[in-house]
Amino acid sequence: MRRAVALARRGPARGVNPQVGCVLLRPDGSTAAEGWHRGAGTPHAEVDALSHLAPGDARGLTAVVSLEPCDHVGRTGPCSVALIEAGVARVVHAVGDPGASSGGGAERLRRAGVDVIGGVLADEAEEMARRWLATARTGRPFVTVKWASSLDGRAAAADGSSRWITGPAARRHVHEQRAAHDAILVGTGTVLADDPGLTARHDTGELMAEQPLPVVVGTRAVPADAALRRHPRGLVETGTRDLEAVLDDLGRRGVRSLFVEGGPTVASAFVRRGLVDDYLVYLAPTLLGGPRTALDDLGVDHIHEQRRLRVTDARTLGDDLVVVARDTSRRHA
């Protein structure tokens, strides 16, 4: 199963489909074939693995899959049916598929007489597929809120200037994170104040191959001459401050991961509403003082109401520190 999870990581992290890996084992435990999903419209991991075998050679084998085989017809056929028709005798999967349309493969396999075992290394597979599973369970994108601040928690100097608190390595990492998400969100206040482009760029200024869909939350219109109007992915203007409605709409649009890069007002709104899955915080070894804090009021009136997080990663980027934390109270966290 660890090999299946490792194979799954080879697939694209972005997009509507999950990363899935599959290992086909012979009765003696040796590997007959391997496969993984390479993106929407391509064979799923199980079918990819089966494609490396001659007709009939899969009969009696065990399929070890990081996610329960799907049971629906999309751009490809059901993996459950493919395994049954190939004569696979046993299917071992790590995580059940929570999708309303794609789930149910395990039950179909059992009805066909296939031995099915679930939950093997579920924690490791859940972590690998965490973003996709969150969306499959809620219908909303996985939300990462990012900010950069001084060690004393300030996002800008007293006059509002903030370029640059962090150094080149941290800023480069931000662009990599933009490229790793399906969409990027800011508020209209940020658009009007900073006129951001919200593209993912290399150090040379050249656009990266993957670009996030820009989303603006708020009721004010984006100016006709704004840089966002020239974004290669187009622009989504929500026309509302209702974050739950925004997330529902983005989920319907196929957005699976959202990078929130707005200022303190937008970031705090996501935090207050309990909509954040991951926090990505860049800390610069500098002190600014003053009122420009990275977050506004979160509704924490008593110390017992503080929002406890779990740090999952912390490392240096040049002179800066990047910290990744998650809210473990989230159902899918």
Which residues are annotated as catalytic? 46
Report how far residue 316's alpha carbon sits from residue 297's, in angstroms, rounded to the nearest whole number: 28
Bridge partners (DSSP) of residue 35 are 22
Q: 65, 14, 74, 13: which is closest to 43 by C-alpha?
A: 74
Report how far residue 299's alpha carbon sits from residue 268's, in angstroms, rounded to the nearest whole number: 10
What is the phi/psi pair of residue 193, to 5°?
Answer: -85, -40
What is the phi/psi pair of residue 123, to 5°?
Answer: -60, -45
Q: Name, in order, each residue with C-beta under 8 angstroms of 100's C-beta and a sequence gap of 6 or more.
A: none
Report how far residue 181's alpha carbon sits from residue 327's, in angstroms, rounded to the nearest whole number: 19
Return the exposure string of 15-51: e unless at least 16 CB atoms fall within 10 Å of the residue's CB, then b: bebbbbbbbbbeeeeeebbbbbbbeeebbbbbbbbbe
Report how far residue 191's alpha carbon sits from residue 227's, in angstroms, rounded to the nearest whole number: 9
